[in-house]
């Protein structure tokens, strides 16, 4: 960290302030940052995960006269920090979308009255004029931006509302601002200062090196390899295995559980209670292994985590470094492993591209939304109508919502519409539950007229729970006694303007620029996986630390060899790939076989033809043996031809180049065949 005078201003007050947090000393770098903040300097702080960034604004907040506004992107993290502060007697609150309108108004009133030392908000909260007005009336002593890399287009988690914080700061005019992040390259640090309109800020960058963390990259052929390696890794103790998708996490969790590993599952699609229980189980059980998406980890401070593994390549070096930083916080040796298959890079590329839809999708989407005053059939039906994926449509909707062109209602909004049909008496089912519901309906609603109600109201009138009411309504509807219009279960979508797309003046250049930056970040992460030089040096140089080329760290797989031993598959001669009675090539690229099979399978599904019609196993393994990268090389393989080169050549050579780059190179087919002929002679 940048050296400053040992005679720190406010050192006495700072040291006394530690008492409120039950601390006796500062961690490395904290005192210098806090001194800068208390001195009224605008400050940019880059500290690794677990280095104690939150104290750098929490402690000054307790000493300054006024309120500290903390901008944080995660609701769960806000809640955890507020609970921790209030438990220590420090008045704090969060104001976010989880609160009712009345609760938000009450907290904004207390904010105006100076009743809080810290208030946590998401960047989107500054869209509310009522909230900004409350801040203007309050005495803002410190403006703190956590996860500040979200400000920069080059950050790994850019959020558009973060990019507006410079204008917010200009309007609030706080006497001091501190921006903090765990991961920021020099260009991101410069971006943070520029977007926040900081003039000559004090910049502190803590050392990124984690000497106790062994960095490892293991090439794998597919999901089976990842599962076997993960089970072996679990012998090291408690750990986290990050997956790119919920489906992958569920499959890996099931595989580990089958092998008697103490594994817990965590992803954003689980109910809140299930996620809370999974996190508590992981924290409480010494040998527990969490199988999770990147939704897991914020606020996790378990010192005895012995490994962090990634079953799919992350989208950015910053995200990867932040996540592996959760291992070895006790200072003891720990292990960071990336299970690498280049196919995962293709998957991430497709996800990035889907998250930044083409202009034609925006145009078609807007046309559909203009045709209906309120679209009530959900994103799934909207995507089907457009012939696109839900992922792409959801991304486009977020952009249009951000541009103020559409509004989305609350989930599950609306009431049941019920009409009692004339002359329906005696035609309904006669079970006690349905009778009770029928009696309640007759007492409340006129016959032949549509009326609206909620399940809770019907429950009070009939004495039935909601499940029985739903069953009863369906039974009465089937009997022809009533008609029922059920509330929309998703979120309504409403276009706020009735103009053609070309008249709206929406620029999608920011969408394209963000797509380009995310693809570049992924490219840098891929370079980390492929590097033949010291991985620790790669990371340190990435984050702007000077380190000599060629230096041997002794604690990465490049310098010291991998610490992961892949368990061998149980194979026999019967398991060897064959086609009829003709043996396939004895040597071939396993990685190329995996990718060629994936390509063939997906193409088969798209074209509606059997896989062997595209190319048979003999041709597939021949390609994996020779790894052709030019047309003449491709045409030498039996079963290929000019037509297949025109249709599939580009993709197949891409797979072969990837296998060669990964070092998974087989003996060329021609040499292999020649040697077999010599032996036969």
Encode 294-323: b = buried (16+ Cβ within 10 Å), e = exposed.
bbbbbebebeebbbbbbbbbbbbbbbbbbb
State pLDDT tens for residues 535-562: 999 999 998 887 777 788 899 999 999 9
| pLDDT of the residue at 579 | 43
State pLDDT tens for residues 209-238: 888 999 999 999 888 999 999 999 999 999
Q: 220: which residues sit within 8 A by CB, 6+ positions away?
A: 226, 229, 339, 340, 341, 566
Query: What's the number of CA atoms in the CB half-sphere (13 Å) around residue 204?
Result: 28
State pLDDT tens for residues 464-490: 887 788 888 888 888 888 888 777 556
| pLDDT of the residue at 672 | 39
Which three-class secondary structure string do you get for 468-494? HHHHHHHHHHHCCCEEEECCCCCCCEE
pLDDT of 291 > 80? The answer is: yes
Of 84-93, 96-105, 164-173, 175-184, the least confident:
96-105
| pLDDT of the residue at 584 | 57
pLDDT of 679 > 80? The answer is: no
Q: Distance between CA atoms of 74 and 476, rounded to whole angstroms?
A: 45
Least Cα distance to 564 among 113, 333, 269, 233 occurs for: 233
| pLDDT of the residue at 454 | 81
To 10 degrees, what angle do helices 342-354 and 509-530 make? 170
| pLDDT of the residue at 70 | 96
Of 97-101, 387-391, 423-427, 505-509, the least confident:
423-427
| pLDDT of the residue at 34 | 95
| pLDDT of the residue at 365 | 94
| Mean pLDDT score, 445-451 | 85
Percent over 70 (pLDDT), the chain: 90
Write down the mean pLDDT value for the chain.
85
Q: 318: which residues sit within 8 A by CB, 6+ positions away?
A: 149, 155, 156, 183, 184, 185, 188, 521
State pLDDT tens for residues 634-650: 999 988 888 788 778 88
H or E stretch covering 265: strand 263-266
> Band of the pLDDT at 571, cuts 50, 70, 90?
very low
Alpha helices in 27-155 (DSSP H): 30-38, 55-63, 75-87, 101-112, 129-137
Give the domains, in start order, of the chain with CATH numbers: 11-205 (3.40.50.300), 213-340+531-560 (3.40.50.300), 349-410+491-518 (1.10.10.10), 416-485 (1.10.10), 576-680 (1.10.150.80)
> Band of the pLDDT at 609, cuts 50, 70, 90?
low
| pLDDT of the residue at 490 | 60
Percent over 90 (pLDDT), the chain: 40
| Mean pLDDT score, 588-603 | 87
Q: Distance between CA atoms of 317 and 149, rounded to whole angstroms?
A: 13
> Band of the pLDDT at 2, cuts 50, 70, 90?
very low
> Band of the pLDDT at 608, cuts 50, 70, 90?
low
| pLDDT of the residue at 369 | 92
| Mean pLDDT score, 352-365 | 91
| pLDDT of the residue at 538 | 93
| pLDDT of the residue at 580 | 42
| pLDDT of the residue at 113 | 92
């Amino acid at each position: 960290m940048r050296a400053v005078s040992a005679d720190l201003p406010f050192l006495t007050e700072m040291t006394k302030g530690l008492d409120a947090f039950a601390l006796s000393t500062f961690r490395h770098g904290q005192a210098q940052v806090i001194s800068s903040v208390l001195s009224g300097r605008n400050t940019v702080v880059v500290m690794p995960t677990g280095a104690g960034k939150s104290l750098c604004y929490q402690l000054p907040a307790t000493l300054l006269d006024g309120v500290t506004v903390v901008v944080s992107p995660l609701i769960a993290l806000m809640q955890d920090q507020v609970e921790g502060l209030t438990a220590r007697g420090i008045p704090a609150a969060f104001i976010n979308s989880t609160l009712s309108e009345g609760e938000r108004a009450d907290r904004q009133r207390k904010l105006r009255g100076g009743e809080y030392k810290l208030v946590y908000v998401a960047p989107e909260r500054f869209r509310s004029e009522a909230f900004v007005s409350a801040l203007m009336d309050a005495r803002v002593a410190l403006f703190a931006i956590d996860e500040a890399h979200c400000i920069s287009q080059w950050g790994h988690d850019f959020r558009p509302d973060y990019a507006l914080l410079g204008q917010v700061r200009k309007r609030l005019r706080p006497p001091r601002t501190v921006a903090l992040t765990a991961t920021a390259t020099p260009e991101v640090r410069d971006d943070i200062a520029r977007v926040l309109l900081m003039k000559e800020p004090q910049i502190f960058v803590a050392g990124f090196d984690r000497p106790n963390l062994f960095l490892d990259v293991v090439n794998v052929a597919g999901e089976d390899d990842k599962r076997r390696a993960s089970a072996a890794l679990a012998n090291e103790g408690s750990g986290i295995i990050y997956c790119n998708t919920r489906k992958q996490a569920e499959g890996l969790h099931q595989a580990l559980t089958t092998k008697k590993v103490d594994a817990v599952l965590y992803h954003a699609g689980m109910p809140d209670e299930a996620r809370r229980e999974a996190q508590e189980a992981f924290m409480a059980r010494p040998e527990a292994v969490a199988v999770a998406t990147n939704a897991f980890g914020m606020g996790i401070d378990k010192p005895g985590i012995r490994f962090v593994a990634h079953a799919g390549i992350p989208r950015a070096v910053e995200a990867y470094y932040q996540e592996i930083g959760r291992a070895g916080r006790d200072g003891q040796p720990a292990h960071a492993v990336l299970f690498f298959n280049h196919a995962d890079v293709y998957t991430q590329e497709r996800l990035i591209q889907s998250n930044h839809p083409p202009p034609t999708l925006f145009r078609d989407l807007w046309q559909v939304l203009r045709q209906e005053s309120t679209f009530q059939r959900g994103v799934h039906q909207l995507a089907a109508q457009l012939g696109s994926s839900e992922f792409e449509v959801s991304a486009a909707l977020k952009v249009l919502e951000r541009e103020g062109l559409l509004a989305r209602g609350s989930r599950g909004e609306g009431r049941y519409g019920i009409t009692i049909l004339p002359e329906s008496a005696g035609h309904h089912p006669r079970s006690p539950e349905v009778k009770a519901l029928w009696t309640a309906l007759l007492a409340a609603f006129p016959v032949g007229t549509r009326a609206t109600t909620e399940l809770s109201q019907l429950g009070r009138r009939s004495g039935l729970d909601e499940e029985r009411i739903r069953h009863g309504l369906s039974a009465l509807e089937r009997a022809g006694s009533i008609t029922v219009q059920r509330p929309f279960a998703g979120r309504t979508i409403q276009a706020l303007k009735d103009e053609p797309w070309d008249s709206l003046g929406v620029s999608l250049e920011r969408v394209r620029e963000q797509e380009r930056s995310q693809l570049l970040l992924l490219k840098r992460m891929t370079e980390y996986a492929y590097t033949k030089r010291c991985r620790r040096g790669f990371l340190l140089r990435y984050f702007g630390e000077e380190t000599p080329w060629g230096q041997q760290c002794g604690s990465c797989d490049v310098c010291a060899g991998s610490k992961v031993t892949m368990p061998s598959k149980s194979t026999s001669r019967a398991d060897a790939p064959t086609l009829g009675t003709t043996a396939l090539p004895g040597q071939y690229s396993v990685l190329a076989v995996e990718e060629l099979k994936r390509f063939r399978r997906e193409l088969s599904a798209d074209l509606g033809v059997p896989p062997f019609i595209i190319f048979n196993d003999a041709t597939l393994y021949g390609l994996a043996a020779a790894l052709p990268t030019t047309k003449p090389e491709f045409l030498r393989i039996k079963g290929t031809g000019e037509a297949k080169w025109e249709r599939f050549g580009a993709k197949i050579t891409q797979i072969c180049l990837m296998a060669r780059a990964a070092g998974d190179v087989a003996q060329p087919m021609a040499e292999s065949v020649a040697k077999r002929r010599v032996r036969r002679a």
